[in-house]
Structure 1
């Protein structure tokens, strides 16, 4: 009994003096990760590793930008409106400039046509009297109508010549098309002058206008003139 008590007291004393050690040394030997944590607890530069390598996270590679960085691009600066500035328009080429001058000459011929129509009323009266189918009052009415038509038609012709000269000089495509149509009408009207009996002065003015119209059409459709019309059209679209 005394020997048992002494052994118990000795075990109690040993337990009290070694209370800081673990009770189960076998568990300590079976846990190497725990030993590593305990051995490196006081080292601040050492990162403890987990006990199981399966729980370790893969190392992360540092992300650095490529050398030189990404290229940067800047959009071209345009004025307000979102379109490129239109190129300045140059003067019209020589064929077109000559055509414009001839159009003003055609306006002058139209004025002469008015004069020819008013002064040619005497021949109109003579023809109607020779026919003998109209009374004197009817002949007077026909002569008055002829004078009105000559004046109104001549003024319209003057306005068209000037209008075509202005807009063709600016390089308007629609003006060249209209001038072409009017030139074709002038050529057809020359045929009617040849088959009708008209005063000589009226016939000369009419034929001059037809020749002028043909020359103008040739000048309007020259390659240099066509290039100028295209350039003006592109400038209008860009503006």
Structure 2
């Protein structure tokens, strides 16, 4: 109903007369620890990139590839020199691994920033990424016997196995923290308040 002097009565929003849940002044510890875990994941990704740059066993990879190519009829028929091919291919592998590590680093940082704000969509995206991390970590566990029997060197073992296991444990912990009750209540309150603000029922 319009007011005689041009004012209008406040209209109760979808959340009812009481309004949406009040967002706590501080986010719960569960979400804070999840964000800390994401920053730790970024640190582990950065360590992985450094290990690829300084500790990649080029000679070992070269010898392994040469062994696999020896006697390969397809390579012999092509007339391609195995050593030249390997020397050109190994830097491509290193570059791809570095790019993948940098992308992973960026995703960790992005997820830490947006999840810290209580965004529900960010929690869902982080859950999807966490599922991929768990799958990757389980693959690292399965590769332990192969990595221990192969002469890959301590640095490559650290990069391929140890970091993978740490990221597996970290991903599980983060997913649990993202979906416990205190985090749920905080994210739901943030979501309700943002919906009310977009509808114009609350001051921004």
User: Larger C-alpha radius of gyration, 1 or 2?
Assistant: 1
Partner deviation per Cα, 1:196-220 (whole Å, 9 max, x = no partner): 6463111111211111111100100
Gaps of 5+ in 2: 1-6, 12-16, 71-80, 198-204
- Indicate the SS of the match to 1:90: coil
1:213 aligned partner:
171
* Cα distance in structure 2, aligned partners of 1:238 and 1:135: 65
Partner deviation per Cα, 1:14-48 (whole Å, 9 max, x = no partner): xxxxxxxxxxxxxxxxxxxxxxxxxxxxxxxxxxx
2:118 corresponds to 1:183: no
* Cα distance in structure 2, aligned partners of 1:140 and 1:121: 13
TM norm structure 2: 0.71
Aligned length: 162
Give matches, 1:219-238, under 5 Å.
219-238=177-196
2:116 aligned partner:
169
TM norm structure 1: 0.61
The CA deviation at 1:192 is: 2.9
Considering fraction of residues, name the structure with more helix. 2
Is the Cα contact below 8 Å between 1:95 and 1:224 reproduced in 2? yes
Gaps of 5+ in 1: 1-73, 79-83
Task: Select the structure with the greater relative contact order (CA < 8 A; seq sep ≥ 6).
Answer: 2
Q: 1:148 aligns with which of 95, 99, 110?
A: 95
- Indicate the SS of the match to 1:212: helix
The 3 A distance-change label for structure 1 pair 126 and 92 is: farther
2:63 aligned partner:
126
* Cα distance in structure 1, aligned partners of 2:116 and 2:170: 17
The CA deviation at 1:115 is: 1.9
Partner deviation per Cα, 1:131-168 (whole Å, 9 max, x = no partner): 24371112122211111111100110011001110111
1:60 aligned partner:
none
1:135 aligned partner:
82
